[in-house]
Amino acid sequence: MMKVGYRGPVAVLLALVLAWASCSPAALAEGSRNRTAAAPARAVPLETRLELMLRTMKIARDWHIEAPSRSALIAGAIEGLLARVDPEAELYTRADLRRIARFAIGPRAGVGLEVRRDPPERRAGRKGYRVVTARDGSPAARVGLKAGDLITHIDGQPAGEIPYLAMTRVLLEGAPGATIRLAVERAGSDQAPEDIVLERTASNSVDVSVDEVATGITRVRIAALSATTAADLSRSWGAYVAGSDGARRSRGVVLDLRSTAVAGSDGVRAVADAFLQSGPVLRTASRSDGGDRQESAKPGDLVDGRPIVVLVDGGTSGGAEMLASALQEGRRARLVGTKTAGRGALRTLVALDRNGRKGILRLTTERLLTPSGAAIEGKGVTPDIVIDQLPASSACRTLDIEDEAVPGWCVPRTVAQDTQLQRAISTLDEPLVAAQQDAETSKP
């Protein structure tokens, strides 16, 4: 999403820096003396800090053993500003955008990865991109890339040197059939980085599926959340109920949100509303004209009051975390699995001028909250029942298991192999769960 507008403090800072960069050292020193003589006894704190920044840049320019260029100093000042405000913020100049646009044309295909930059305090000198989740059925999922894995290089280039838009719009996506080579440090492993070759392919993933996993237990798998997910969910559930005796006698639902891809907040609201009769389904915080936003469920329950258990893991991210917390805090569902990713921030591209010709900033403009107002970013959502997947495989996602016939290849787990799913099924069999759900759904 591109928003057009101005950001006053940033514009002021850039103007000051650019003005300083055009001055000679002598002119800068003379201007500093004049300002000092004319300044009141008590300087405004902001002016003091800006003066400190300009003096620091001057000393770096005049005294460092390797004289930095003006462009390097200005770039460093901007990068430092953004890093302090938002560790994942980035500035894209007009030249940067032209380079990205030149490659992001023609037919597109991807490898099914959602990635993020690590905050500086967690990078430990290994700058790169952390995997948030891999899409069902994608090349990334088949080779076992999963939440927490760190991509250190891509096609031999250090990943930390690659801007986010170039990483996601040019390298991880591109011409169908083309391959990319990743160096990946596996999460929780002290082994050397693996070299993984992926082929960009058109996605054939089904975002919503419904099936029976045990007698009277229905699994609803949501692989990705988008603006159309609620409609897909309603259509899939309706077809299942109409065509299956098992659905008609269904006594409980497992909503599987493990490794669910990130989405905006609007799609989340509609899906949460499908399961909730009342109560909050969406809560966000922002500084836009609307400010903080909270929306409540409308009457109507897609699954007619059946008890629900939600499966989550470290790949449950963003909108999926908000959905899980809405069902948990609304006492509509119990959560089973492991702690979620803690990705509760939405980032926007903001133009530096009215038409974006001078460049754009990518920065956080909205935060996702649980219905009670707790932050999701950096904290995640903790399940009611914490259970790891067994038998564990460090080479595959929670949903998958290593193929015995093809080592290094991951295939979906069967119901019998899925420990977390089995625990969710047994939770639905607990009389207390059914009684609690009956009480909640019978409320006027």
Residue 33: pLDDT over 50: no
User: For residue 150, what is the domain's CATH number?
Assistant: 2.30.42.10
pLDDT at 123: 44
Mark whether 161 and 26 lie in a shared domain: no
Residue 255: pLDDT over 80: yes
Distance of CA 44 to CAs 28, 39, 40, 48, 50, Å? 20, 10, 9, 6, 10
Give the residue-averaged pLDDT of 179-187.
Answer: 92
The residues, ordered by sequence, that sit 6+ positions from 424 with a Cβ below 8 Å of its Cβ are: 254, 309, 311, 336
Residue 308: pLDDT over 60: yes
Mark whether 177 and 218 lie in a shared domain: no
Pairwise CA distance, residues 291 & 274, whole Å: 25
Residue 51: pLDDT over 80: yes
Mark whether 170 and 254 lie in a shared domain: no
The reply to whether 92 falls in a domain is: no
Confidence of residue 160 (pLDDT cuts 50, 70, 90): confident
Q: Which two tokens stand for residue 273?
A: 């509303």
The residue whose two tokens read 């109409």 is 242
% of the chain with per-residue pLDDT over 70: 81
Mark whether 217 and 257 lie in a shared domain: yes
**Domain boundary pick from 152, 168, 199:** 199
Q: What average pLDDT does the chain have?
A: 82
Count of domains for the chain = 3
Decide the pairing of beta strands 333-337 and 385-386.
Answer: parallel
Residue 290: pLDDT over 80: no
pLDDT at 12: 39
**Domain boundary pick from 143, 165, 199:** 199
Element (H, E) at 420: helix 419-428
Mark whether 434 and 365 lie in a shared domain: yes
pLDDT at 21: 42
pLDDT at 119: 62
Domain residues for the domain of 58 are 2-37+44-85
Pairwise CA distance, residues 62 & 18, whole Å: 17
Pairwise CA distance, residues 82 & 117, whole Å: 14
The reply to whether 91 falls in a domain is: no
Q: Buried (b) or exposed (e) across 42-60, using 16+ Cβ within 10 A?
A: eeeeeeeebbebbeebbee
Pairwise CA distance, residues 197 & 279, whole Å: 46
pLDDT at 181: 96
The reply to whether 128 falls in a domain is: yes
Mark whether 252 and 366 lie in a shared domain: yes
Residue 14: pLDDT over 60: no
The reply to whether 90 falls in a domain is: no
Distance of CA 1 to CAs 240, 347, 362, 387, Å? 35, 9, 10, 37
Give the residue-averaged pLDDT of 73-81.
Answer: 83
Residue 19: pLDDT over 60: no
Classify residue 163 by its DSSP letter: -
Greatest alpha-carbon span in the chain: 88
pLDDT at 29: 42
The reply to whether 229 falls in a domain is: yes
pTM here is: 0.81
User: For residue 427, what is the domain's CATH number?
Assistant: 3.90.226.10
pLDDT at 421: 97
Classify residue 331 by its DSSP letter: T
Mark whether 264 and 412 lie in a shared domain: yes
Confidence of residue 127 (pLDDT cuts 50, 70, 90): confident
Give the residue-averaged pLDDT of 392-410.
Answer: 87
Confidence of residue 80 (pLDDT cuts 50, 70, 90): confident
Mark whether 108 and 177 lie in a shared domain: yes
pLDDT at 146: 92
Confidence of residue 332 (pLDDT cuts 50, 70, 90): very high
Residue 25: pLDDT over 50: no
The reply to whether 80 falls in a domain is: yes
Mark whether 306 and 395 lie in a shared domain: yes
Pairwise CA distance, residues 167 & 313, whole Å: 25
The residues, ordered by sequence, that sit 6+ positions from 331 with a Cβ below 8 Å of its Cβ are: 436, 440
The residues, ordered by sequence, that sit 6+ positions from 261 with a Cβ below 8 Å of its Cβ are: 114, 133, 135, 223, 224, 225, 317, 320
Please name which of 361, 319, 373, 353 lies closest in space to residue 85, comparing C-alpha atoms. 361
Mark whether 56 and 113 lie in a shared domain: no
Output the CA torsion 367→371→373→379 (10° steps): -60
Give the residue-averaged pLDDT of 317-325.
Answer: 93
53-57, 367-371, 406-410, 431-435: least confident range: 431-435
Pairwise CA distance, residues 133 & 147, whole Å: 5
Residue 405: pLDDT over 50: yes
The reply to whether 213 falls in a domain is: yes
**Domain boundary pick from 54, 85, 116:** 85
Output the CA torsion 363→368→369→374 (10° steps): -40
% of the chain with per-residue pLDDT over 90: 40
Q: Which residues pair with 158 in a beta bridge?
A: 153
Q: Which residues pair with 134 in a beta bridge?
A: 113
Residue 41: pLDDT over 70: no
Give the amino acid at 117: R
The residue whose two tokens read 């059946």 is 306
Pairwise CA distance, residues 434 & 308, whole Å: 9
Pairwise CA distance, residues 209 & 119, whole Å: 35
Please name which of 71, 194, 209, 64 lies closest in space to residue 140, comparing C-alpha atoms. 194
pLDDT at 35: 44
Please name which of 143, 305, 132, 339 lies closest in space to residue 224, comparing C-alpha atoms. 132
The reply to whether 135 falls in a domain is: yes
Phi, psi (5° rounding) for residue 243?
-110, 10
Give the residue-averaged pLDDT of 2-30.
Answer: 41
Span 343-386, pLDDT tens digits: 988 888 889 888 778 889 998 888 989 999 999 998 999 999 99
Confidence of residue 276 (pLDDT cuts 50, 70, 90): very high
pLDDT at 337: 97
Residue 222: pLDDT over 70: yes
197: three-class secondary structure by DSSP: strand
Mark whether 191 and 216 lie in a shared domain: no
Mark whether 349 and 312 lie in a shared domain: yes
12-21, 136-145, 248-257, 332-341: least confident range: 12-21
Contact 1, 348 (CB under 8 A): yes
Cis-peptide into 391, omega within 30 deg: yes
Decide the pairing of beta strands 208-214 and 2-3.
Answer: unpaired
Contact 182, 111 (CB under 8 A): no
Q: Which two tokens stand for residue 88?
A: 């994942």
Please give, one letter per residue, the 3-state secondary structure of 274-312: HHCCCCEEEEEEECCCCCCEEEECCCCCCCCCCCEEEEE
Residue 265: pLDDT over 50: yes
